[in-house]
Structures are given as structure tokens and as C-alpha cells.
Amino acid sequence: MYEEMDKTYVLQTYPRNYVNFKRGQNATLYDESGKDYIDFTSGIGVVSVGHGNKRLADAISDQAYNLIHTSNLFLIEPQAKLAKRISELYGKDIGVFFANSGAEANEGAIKLARKYGANKFKNKRYKVLTLEHSFHGRTITTVKATGQANFHKKDFAPYPEGFSYHDQINALLDAIDDETVAVMIELIQGEGGVQPLNKESVQKLAKVLKEKEILLIVDEVQTGIYRSGEFLATQLYEIEPDVITLAKGLAGGVPIGAVVTPHKDVFQVGDHGSTFGGNFLSTRAGLETLDILEAYKQSGALDEAYVYFQKALEDIVQSYPNLFVENLGLGLMRGLRCKGDDTLAKIIKAGFNEGVLVLRSGRNTLRFLPPLTISKDEIDEGMRRLKNAINSLS
């Protein structure tokens, strides 16, 4: 019934699996028949504190009973508190603009860069350089910023000008000209194959851009909020970007995005805005999510999960050398590079049938983004099911 309803009334922009999930508990989902699935996707890196998290649910419920939304024309207490908490966890003096998604956050970052380029230099600068295999969103502008040709469909043209893509960081540096205002990168390319960038190369890039007064924008929509091992992957790479964008795991499943920058004076009143961004519900959820994850990190449990998951994936690679090339990623943002796209599709389908959910990524990569609170038992069971899925293909 619901499949027919979906196909009749919902625009068909997703290749859905028609399973009807009814509830979840941490990294386990249950469909309407009671079948359970180990979730190694967390809603594409969103459900950071797990499904059915009571603390988060209680915070959301409490907030909903009082205020959900008033608009940014008035003070929003949890928004101010969440901005302060992000500053404290990052350890830098920054300002935050709140949006509703990663794409919106990246739009805001590009908009901030364009204004910086208009006011900072004698001749306006507007060009933004990105890397090949990058992904920055689905809006017209962020699609154009994405360094993957398959996203630049002619049907949606013409696209905004001022974006170019380069195969490595040295090529980015070589491409800088007197119209370049910013370089935008992911420290671990998510859609681009769960590929971490080289730390020394990133630090070199940051140093050169600082000297040239060109902005470094780091897209941490997927890598942020402890996904990579620290609060921000930026901290692992030991750099200080001019702009960081956040979304996905920041509010545990409630839509949110954030533009984080030490350049507090670029945007003025009226330059940017959002009706829903940073409202009472999303920022209260963000505060509770950060409270949960900060304590989890400090207890050592989060680091244990990183190590345990990494070892489990390494066992998969060693067990099936004919299928997998390498184990990639950092923290609980992991990927197994497959030897062929056909194999990747078959593993994902077989995994679903076995009751384990995994994702596709670019460059023939099987992607894993489990809840950060995933238990060792859930990891073990998920890997057992994944092996069963793989074995069923032979």
C-alpha cells in the first residue's frame, strides 16, 4: 500500500528500497514485520547518537512542548548556546550562522567568500577552486562546486560561473589567479570514495592561502561532529580554516547546517538569512547531541569504537582479497575500495537481504557511516551478516 502511495504522490528522485522501518535502537532498525537490520549508514552519517536515543528524544519532546519556532527576528536561547558550544569544542573564537542542511551551509560559505572577495581586494575576486571527486551539495551552486562531471547535467544548465576542479592540491595552488577568492575542500572526500587528503599537503595549502589572504573553506558536513575521530577533522589536520561548514550529525537527525568562521564581520544585517535555520527545535537537539557525544568521547568509548570498527573492516579486506583493494577513511567514516562497480552493487543488495545496511560511494567504494554510539555486538553482528552477503555471491 505505502509503496504504491509513494510512487503515486512522491516525486521519484531516489532509487528506494521499499522497506518500511518502524523503529530503531542504537545501530539496529526494525521493519514492519519485525525483521532487524544492522545500520552501517545512520541515515548517511546523520543519526550520530543512534536510533531511539532517549536523551535526545526527551530533549526534543521537552522543546516541542514549549517552543518549536519563532524565527530569527527574535533571540533564540538554544541557538546562542549551541554556537558557544561549537566555539568551545573547536577551541577558537568563531561566529556561527545556522541553516538547515549541508548544501545550505556550503551556499552560505560561498556567499561569504564572494562578499569577502568584493570588499577585501581592489579588484573583486569571486573564483572558488575545488578538488576533483569532491561533493558539496545538490543546489545549483553547490552542484557546480562539486568536482564530479556526472553531477553537472545539461538539463540544469546554465550553472553559476567561477568554479573549477583540480586533481590534487598542488594543482589547486597552480590554478590560483588574481580572481581567486577561496579554495573549498573536504579533508576526507565522502561521495568521492572516502578518500582522506594528505595531511602535509593540506597544511601546505593552508599556509599558502593564508599568505595570499585567500580563504580556505573546509566542508565538514560529513567529517564533522566526531565522525573522523575528533570534534572536527580540521583538528586532526592541525589547520585553521577561514570557514568550516557543518550539518549531518550535528543534531542527531533533526535537520541543521552551520557556517563556522572567525571572520565575524564579513556578513552584515540583511546579507544572509534563513526562516527555519537555527530554530528552537534544531538547536536544542544540537545541544543534546553534543553533550552526549562529548561525554562519549571523553569516556574513551568513542575511540574504542573507531579502533574496533577499523579492525573489523581490515578482517573483511584480508578475508576477501579478490574483492577489495584497501580499507580507507578515518574514525567511523570508512570505506572498502572494491575491484569493480558491479561487485559493489551486488554486495549492497545482498547485504540488504541479509539485514545489514551499507552505502555506495565514488571510485567503487563500499561506504560505512554507522552511528557513533554503535556497540561492539552490533559491529560483530553487522560484519557477520556482511560476510554472509559476500559469500552468497560466490
Condensed to tens digits (0 to 9), the pLDDT of residues 279-298 reads 999 999 999 999 999 999 99
Return the SS3 of 26: strand
When pLDDT is cut at 50, 70 and 90, the band that residue 358 belongs to is very high
394 — pLDDT class (breaks 50, 70, 90)? confident
3-state secondary structure of 226: coil
Burial class (CB in 10 A: 0-12, 13-18, 19+), 75: exposed
Beta-bridge partners for 180: 127
pLDDT at 342: 86
> How does 94-107 read in b/e, with b if 16+ C-beta sit within 10 Å?
bbbbbbbbbbbbbb
- Residue 340: what pLDDT? 81
225: nearest Cα among 82, 61, 104 = 82
pLDDT > 90? residue 172: yes
Give me the percent of the chain exceeding a pLDDT of 90: 98
- What pLDDT score was predicted for residue 211? 98
34, with CB counted inside 10 A (0-12, 13-18, 19+), is: exposed
| pTM of this structure | 0.97
Q: Which fold has domain 300-372?
A: Aspartate Aminotransferase, domain 1 (3.90.1150)
- For the chain, give the mean pLDDT: 97
Place of cell 526534543: 60
For 93-127, write each residue's pLDDT tens digit.
999 999 999 999 999 999 999 999 999 999 999 99
Give me the DSSP letters along 61-125. HHHHHH-S---TTS--HHHHHHHHHHHHHHTS--EEEEESSHHHHHHHHHHHHHHHHHHHSSS--
Which residue in 290, 292, 308, 303 sits closest to 225, CA to CA?
290
Q: In the CATH scheme, what is the code of domain 56-298?
A: 3.40.640.10
Where in the chain do CATH 3.90.1150.10 domains reside? 300-372
Residue with cell 578518500: 195
Indicate whether 190 pLDDT > 90.
yes
Percent of the chain residues past pLDDT 70, beyond the cut: 100
| 343-353 pLDDT per residue, tens | 999 999 999 99
Per-residue pLDDT tens over the stretch 372-381:
999 999 999 9
Q: How far is it, in rounded angstroms, from Cα 146 to Cα 141?
A: 9
What pLDDT, on a 0 to 100 scale, did the predictor assign at position 124?
97
pLDDT in tens, 29-87: 999 999 999 999 999 999 999 999 999 999 999 999 999 999 999 999 999 999 999 99
Other beta carbons within 10 angstroms of residue 380's beta carbon come to 13
Where do the CATH 3.40.640.10 domains begin and end in the chain?
56-298
Strand partners, 24: 29
> How crowded is residue 340: how many other Cβ atoms within 10 Å of its Cβ?
10
Residue range 248-266: average pLDDT?
A: 98
